Amino acid sequence: MRRLTLLPLLAALLTLAACSGGTTPTPAGTSAASAPAGGGASAPAGGASAPAGGASAPAGGGAACATAPAGSTATVNVTIKDFKFAPQPVQAKVGDIVAWTNQDGSTPHSATMDTAGCDTKAISGGATAMLVFSQPGTYTYHCSVHPATMKDYTVVVQ
Ligand SMILES: [Cu+2]
C-alpha cells in the first residue's frame, strides 16, 4: 500500500524537477556577448600630435629662411590646391629654393613659417612665391589667410 501512494508523489516530483530545470538555465547568459564591441575603437587616435616638434627649428644665429631673390630657380616645388599644401611634408636640403604655387583660382594663400620668420606673403591664384632655407631643421608653417584650417604643415630641411 505505501509504495502505491508514494509512486504518484515521486512522479510528481520528477516532473516538477524536469519542468523547473528546463526553463531556467538559458536566459541569463545571452546578453554578455555584446559587451566587447565598444572598447577597441578609440585606440588609433594617439598618432595625430606628432608634428609638434617643429619648435626645434633654428632659434639661434641669423635668418634660417628668407624670401628667395628675384629670378631664382626653384629646386623644390609645392602646390597649393583645394586649401591644401602638397607634398606634406616638404623635403628639402640646405640652400634649396622652395616654390609654392597657388592653384586655387582666385583664392589667395600664403606659406608662413610659424616661428622661423619668413613668409611668402599672400600668393594670388596662379602665382608662385619662393623661400630659401639656409639651416637644417623642421619648419612648421601655415597659411596666414586661412590660419584655422591650413596649419601644421612642415618643411623638413636637411
Ligand atoms: Cu590659404
Task: Kindly list the structural domains of the chain, giving each domain's residue range(s) and its CATH number in brackets, ordered by start.
Answer: 65-158 (2.60.40.420)
| Model confidence at 21: pLDDT above 70 | no
Span from the CA of 109 to the centroid of ligand 1 (angstroms): 4
Span from the CA of 52 to the centroid of ligand 1 (angstroms): 21
| Mean pLDDT in residue range 133-149 | 97
pLDDT for 36: 39
* CB-neighbour burial class of residue 146 (10 A; exposed 0-12, middle 13-18, buried 19+): middle
| Residues bordering ligand 1, an ion, CB closer than 5 Å | 109, 143, 145-146, 150
pLDDT digits (tens, 9 = 90+) for 70-116: 999 999 999 999 999 999 999 999 999 999 999 999 999 999 999 98
Phi, psi angles (nearest 5°) of residue 84: -140, 150
| Model confidence at 137: pLDDT above 80 | yes
pLDDT digits (tens, 9 = 90+) for 30-58: 444 333 343 333 333 333 333 333 344 44
